[in-house]
Amino acid sequence: MLSVLRVHLPSDIPIVGCELTPYVLLRRADNSITTDDALEPEPVDGFYLRYKWYRMQSDKKVAVCSVHPSEQATLQCLGCVKAKIPITKSYHCSSKCFSDAWQHHRALHERAANALNENGTEEEELYRFNSSGAVVTNPSLSSSTSATNPSPIMNNGSTPIYSSATSDRTSGEAWVEVGRSKTYTPSADDIGHVLKLECVAIDADTRISVGPVSTLLTSRVIPAPSPTPRRLIPVSGVDLVGHLDSDGRGTSGSFTVLSYNILADVYAANDVYSYCPSWALSWTYRRQNLLREIVGYHADILCLQEVQSDHFEEYFAPELEKHGYTAVYKRKTAEVYTGTVYAIDGCATFFRRDRFSLVKKYEVEFNKAAQSLTEAVVPVAQRKNALNRLLKDNVALIVVLEAKFGNHGPEAPGKRQLLCVANTHVNVHQDLKDVKLWQVHTLLKGLEKIAVSADIPMLVCGDFNSMPGSAPHALLATGKVESTHPDLTIDPLGILRPPSKLNHRLPLVSAYSSFARMVGVGMGLEQQRRRIDPMTNEPLFTNCTRDFLGTLDYIFYTADSLTVESLLELLDEDSLRKDTALPSPEWSSDHIALLAEFRCNPRSRR
């Protein structure tokens, strides 16, 4: 006989769009324990498992807190509804929650106020909670909730919206069957409702259940948090705020490039990111939230870092293929042991197949370059120590693409428009400054060879794990590293000597430095300038954790062949600190995405 010993879910909080897959522990007839699936087509010991999912019915409308989505909402900002801010962002679980989030919340009001005049008449029907905790309509609006006045009106119900305990909720409640497979993906219809899973062993011959039914109850289903959309800010002299259109570009001759370290699951440890709720740190949640964010940018080219090989093959490649992307992937050269399985991540580059075609790809393994370097310049007795320092398994992926859109002008009619895109993830260890610089220098020298062989604009994207002002950043941005740079004092292998060799001839410029160079006052432009470090002309941060805030990610471009048209707006620290840091329920990586719109400069020769 087959018996069910235990059924549980990785997270007790179900989220819309995130598949629920229970862990089931079984005892076989010989008393051995197994976690193998016992499906009807392939019974185990003559038995299979039958699963049923149910949703608890309720006659009440329910809402969840926009800041703490696992908590019930008890009050609502009517100003949000008046300003046509997404209704889910108006709910809060307590007055303290609302007060703590007010600085970020006020920014939502201000942004909505700027756009309100373009949206025609306002919605007058508002919602609030009545004394029974249900949602009712409010046909009038106090003048203090005007979109131009960010002070909200809040209505706090005198009784909770939800019942207090799961054990009480089940008594006398009606359950509606919603699924008959092992897994279940909550939908919008499930929001605010408790789910129940029943699992029982079935005799394959008689089709009669044997043994007790194992039952599992979840918390109430919550909606997937939706970040406020980030705007595309023009930097080419136009004083208006742009938006990513359905194609992700402003005009046919421009194209957009995204660079994003998505935080591989193998590195998303609960002890490292203890401030992030466990359900929001789970891969089942993060993968769908990341995909929704990435697809929402509509970028023509995606440069992703920390993409696990299994996640690339099983999720990102097939899902992004549905959205018109072709994928190229380069995995790192060593696996990481997670405690249960081995995993490996790498760099993934995607491009829209209706916009570009692949001409050639180059894979850069810094380990191979390290072996060649040590054989050439390191004495035999020191090679083992040298390799221990240099072999860090980092990689870069370079693709040469051909544009399918015209942007050549009268100077070069009918000429093929090629584009070289490098995607890399440089070593993370801060005590290996020499290794970081050597990796960046190696990549740039490889790109120089491509530039010599072809008339081709270049983009260099990725997580360089190097702050503005560091030697790797100086090499990228200025083409050289001064011999007095403090980073050069760390060179135990002598691989950085003489400093005069640390140079390249690519006219690289950081795309986001355009915010600092832009002259004029445009809506949103001044706000973005405040998020740029005036000393380095780089963003104040692209990585935000509880213990670190700084810029590690960049999009560099060859300024003689490309022009920056617009940039994806940067996030402000205060809006992220409401959840302590990244990752959070809203943003599923500890990095932020960077996106730039470019236009090729028409010319007949480089």
Q: Dump the DSSP string for 304-364.
A: EEEEEHHHIIIIIHHHHHHTTEEEEEEE-SS-EE-SSSEE-EEEEEEEETTTEEEEEEEEE
Examine the domain organization and report whether 488 and 436 are in the same domain.
Answer: yes
CA 537 to the chain's CA centroid: 24
Q: With contact defined as beta carbons under 8 Å apart, do 599 and 565 qualify?
A: yes
387-396, 511-520, 549-558: least confident range: 511-520
547: its two tokens: 């213990």
Distance CA 240, CA 69 (A): 34
Distance CA 311, CA 231 (A): 29
Distance CA 475, CA 448 (A): 13
Q: With 80 as the cut, is the pLDDT of residue 130 above it?
A: no
C-alpha dihedral, 368 to 372 to 377 to 381, nearest 10°: 80
Q: With 50 as the cut, is the pLDDT of residue 310 above it?
A: yes
Question: What is the residue whose two structure tokens read 């950043």?
Answer: 473
Q: With 80 as the cut, is the pLDDT of residue 128 above it?
A: no
Examine the domain organization and report whether 288 and 416 are in the same domain.
Answer: yes
pLDDT digits (tens, 9 = 90+) for 66-123: 877 778 888 999 888 888 887 878 888 988 888 877 877 777 787 777 665 444 443 3
Question: What is the residue whose two structure tokens read 């006659």?
Answer: 59
Q: How many domains, the chain?
A: 2
- Return the amino acid letter for 228: T
Examine the domain organization and report whether 181 and 288 are in the same domain.
Answer: no
Distance CA 250, CA 271 (A): 43
List 403's β-bridge partners, or say none.
356
Question: What is the residue whose two structure tokens read 């002309």?
Answer: 537
Q: Domain limits at 181? A: 3-58+173-221
25-39, 250-264, 529-543: least confident range: 250-264
The answer to whether residue 161 is domain-embedded is no
The DSSP secondary-structure symbol of 397 reads: E
Instruction: Count CB neighbours of 117 within 10 A.
Output: 8
The DSSP secondary-structure symbol of 20 reads: B
Pairing of strands 594-600, 3-8: unpaired
Which is more confidently placed, 181 or 228? 181
Pairing of strands 33-34, 23-27: antiparallel
pLDDT attached to residue 59: 54
Which is more confidently placed, 528 or 65? 528
What counts of helices (H) and strands (E) characterise the chain? 15, 31
The answer to whether residue 128 is domain-embedded is no
Q: What's the alpha-carbon Rg for the chain, to the nearest Å?
A: 27
pLDDT attached to residue 602: 77
The domain that contains 330 carries what CATH number?
A: 3.60.10.10
- Return the amino acid letter for 397: L
pLDDT digits (tens, 9 = 90+) for 335-387: 877 666 788 999 999 999 999 999 999 999 999 999 999 999 999 999 999 99
Beta strand segments in 353-449, E: 356-365, 395-403, 418-425
Burial label for 36, CB within 10 Å (0-12, 13-18, 19+), is: exposed
Examine the domain organization and report whether 332 and 281 are in the same domain.
Answer: yes
Examine the domain organization and report whether 327 and 469 are in the same domain.
Answer: yes
5: its two tokens: 């010993």
pLDDT digits (tens, 9 = 90+) for 438-460: 999 999 999 999 999 888 999 99
Distance CA 320, CA 311 (A): 12
Examine the domain organization and report whether 408 and 277 are in the same domain.
Answer: yes
Question: What is the residue whose two structure tokens read 């207090």?
Answer: 164
Q: Which of 108, 73, 598, 16 is nearest to 355 (CA)?
A: 598
pLDDT digits (tens, 9 = 90+) for 284-305: 999 999 999 999 999 999 999 9
pLDDT attached to residue 515: 93
The answer to whether residue 510 is domain-embedded is yes
pLDDT attached to residue 63: 81
* pLDDT band at 177; cut points 50, 70, 90: very high
pLDDT digits (tens, 9 = 90+) for 536-582: 999 999 999 999 999 999 999 999 999 999 999 999 999 899 889 99
Distance CA 312, CA 343 (A): 12
Q: How far is CA 273 from CA 101, 227, 547, 571, in A?
A: 21, 19, 10, 20
Examine the domain organization and report whether 366 and 297 are in the same domain.
Answer: yes
Examine the domain organization and report whether 256 and 216 are in the same domain.
Answer: no
pLDDT attached to residue 61: 58
The answer to whether residue 321 is domain-embedded is yes
- Return the amino acid letter for 241: V
Instruction: Count CB neighbours of 412 within 10 A.
Output: 16
Distance CA 29, CA 217 (A): 28
pLDDT attached to residue 47: 96
pLDDT attached to residue 340: 64
Question: What is the residue whose two structure tokens read 């980030």?
Answer: 230
21-35, 53-67, 139-153, 212-226: least confident range: 139-153
Mean pLDDT across the stretch 499-523? 88
The domain that contains 198 carries what CATH number?
A: 2.60.40.2700
pLDDT attached to residue 479: 97
Q: With 50 as the cut, is the pLDDT of residue 149 above it?
A: no
pLDDT attached to residue 523: 59
CA quadruple 551, 338, 226, 261: dihedral sign: positive
Q: Which helix (H) or strand (E) holds 219?
A: strand 209-220
* pLDDT band at 401; cut points 50, 70, 90: very high
Examine the domain organization and report whether 186 and 284 are in the same domain.
Answer: no
Question: What is the residue whose two structure tokens read 């800010």?
Answer: 233
Max Cα-Cα span within the chain:
83
pLDDT attached to residue 240: 35
Q: With contact defined as beta carbons under 8 Å apart, do 405 and 253 qualify?
A: yes
Mean pLDDT across the stretch 211-223? 93
Distance CA 585, CA 335 (A): 28
Examine the domain organization and report whether 278 and 380 are in the same domain.
Answer: yes
Buried b (16+ CB within 10 A) or exposed e, 344-373: bbbbbbbbbeebbeeeeebebbbbebbbeb
Q: With 50 as the cut, is the pLDDT of residue 136 above it?
A: no
Q: With contact defined as beta carbons under 8 Å apart, do 396 and 364 qualify?
A: yes
Examine the domain organization and report whether 200 and 329 are in the same domain.
Answer: no
pLDDT attached to residue 288: 92
Q: Which of 127, 76, 126 is nearest to 97 (CA)?
A: 76
Residues 6+ apart with CB under 8 A from 255: 249, 300, 301, 355, 356, 403, 405, 419, 597, 598, 599
Distance CA 66, CA 18 (A): 18
Examine the domain organization and report whether 353 and 208 are in the same domain.
Answer: no
The answer to whether residue 606 is domain-embedded is no
The answer to whether residue 137 is domain-embedded is no
Three-point CA angle 265, 300, 306, nearest 5°: 15
pLDDT attached to residue 100: 79
- What percent of the chain has a predicted confidence (pLDDT) above 90? 66
- Return the amino acid letter for 353: R
pLDDT attached to residue 155: 39
* pLDDT band at 43; cut points 50, 70, 90: very high
The answer to whether residue 127 is domain-embedded is no
Q: What global pTM score does this model have? A: 0.82
The answer to whether residue 100 is domain-embedded is no
Q: With contact defined as beta carbons under 8 Å apart, do 587 and 576 qualify?
A: yes
Distance CA 197, CA 216 (A): 5
Mean pLDDT across the stretch 189-213? 94
Residues 6+ apart with CB under 8 A from 414: 408
Which is more confidently placed, 247 or 11? 11
Residues 6+ apart with CB under 8 A from 504: 441, 444, 445, 447, 448, 475, 479
pLDDT attached to residue 455: 82
